[in-house]
Amino acid sequence: MIQHVLSSEVNGFDWYDITHPSEGDFNELATRYNLHESTIRNCFEVGHLPKIEVYPDYQFLILRSIAAKYPEHSDVLIELTERISIFYGDKFIITVHRAQIEWLDKIKQTPADNAKLKGTKHVVNLLVSQALKTFEHEVIYTFADKIDQYEEFVFLHSRRKPFMKKLYYLKRQIDLIRIILTLYQDLVEYFHIPERVSTFHRNLHDLYKRTDTLYRNLAENTSQLLSMYFNIESNHTNEIMRTLTIISVFFMPLTFVVGVYGMNFVDMPELESKYGYPAVLLFMLLLSLAIYFWFKKKRWL
């Protein structure tokens, strides 16, 4: 579906937004704006990471932003992020995406006379900024809160294993986003070269640096949290082994004496007892249960 967002009569350039693209959507636009076949083909291929390609008549960008909703245990690019492809020249912008993108819809609803829409470069700068802001928003309002929760699990809860799967996927998500942000650098630097620098471009550069720093710190915190978790678990295991070793030391000489000498006594009243055997079995069962509940109380199981 093609939507004519801005027209050249009002803004001096045309902005076409294509949702759920088909090859037929590009027939007229490709001819009118001399779009290269390879860039059109890229719009239909999934899995592309952010990039910019410069052609004689236009520039082609691929952006990634955090998906509005994604599975908590997802570390797949196409589930965690949304993609938008952008063709732009001096007189046109074409945005292409498969699904509705919330932040893009808000930009399309901006009044046509807004200063942020006064030129194609301003619009593209706005698109890149809003895509980056989704990563900044996610780290501030989602990832940082998760890290705080997991720190509480590590230091205040005795049983820590259930959260490990969540922490693993959080680390995978952060690592994937850091790869995306690394590739965003080429886009940001392209707009930040001296002959193109403006207030909008400086703000974009600052936003990128801030977001990249946030994720770098978050990645370090996640790695440190994992390291602390394994250290705590190792110390906990050592405590268990020390306790069990002490208990074993008490029983080793007793077991040795019984093993070597045996129960070689003439007077053993229990051998003549009618209930001796079931009583011993019951005692062993109760002893096993007592050990089990003691282990549970100590949170060793």
Secondary structure of 159-211 in HEC code, one letter for each residue: CCHHHHHHHHHHHHHHHHHHHHHHHHHHHHHHHCCHHHCCHHHHHHHHHHHHH
Report CA Rg, the chain: 33
Residue 62 pLDDT: 95
* Exposure letters 89-107 (e unless 16+ CB within 10 A, then b): beebbbbbbbeebebbeeb
pTM score, two decimals?
Answer: 0.76
Bridging pattern class, strands 2-6 and 59-66? unpaired
Q: What is the mean pLDDT of residues 14-25?
A: 92
Residue-range domain boundaries for the chain: 2-233, 265-301
Single out the residue of 198, 3, 200 nearest to residue 114, CA to CA: 200
| pLDDT above 90 (res 136) | yes
- Residue 280, pLDDT score: 84
pLDDT tens-digit readout, 235-284? 888 888 888 888 888 888 888 887 877 777 777 777 777 788 888 889 88
What is the rounded distance in angstroms from the CA atom of residue 132 to the CA atom of residue 136?
7
Domain 2-233 has CATH 3.40.190.10: no
